[in-house]
Amino acid sequence: MQAFVNDVRVLDTVFWTWGPNSASTAPVSEWPRPHGLDLEPGERVTLVVVPERTSGEWRITRSPGPPR
């Protein structure tokens, strides 16, 4: 499974099991360093999820991070 924010890949993982799994990215406040994304609070983004290299059900959740 891959997730892209504004065309930048922020998650790339593989799951071949029907059991529960999870994967996460670094907190958004740390995205400038590994991903080159410097998002401002309240900025609109485009999220694209590519559900490949995975089996079973999947979902994407967003957890609020600490204030910047």
Write down the mean pLDDT value for the chain: 76
pLDDT of residue 46: 92
pLDDT over 60 (residue 30): yes
Strands 47-50 and 2-5: antiparallel
Span 59-66, mean pLDDT? 68
User: Is the CB of residue 15 less than 8 Å from the CB of residue 59?
Assistant: no
Higher pLDDT, 4 or 62: 4
Helix (H/G/I), strand (E/B), else coil: 5: strand
Q: What is the pTM of this model?
A: 0.69
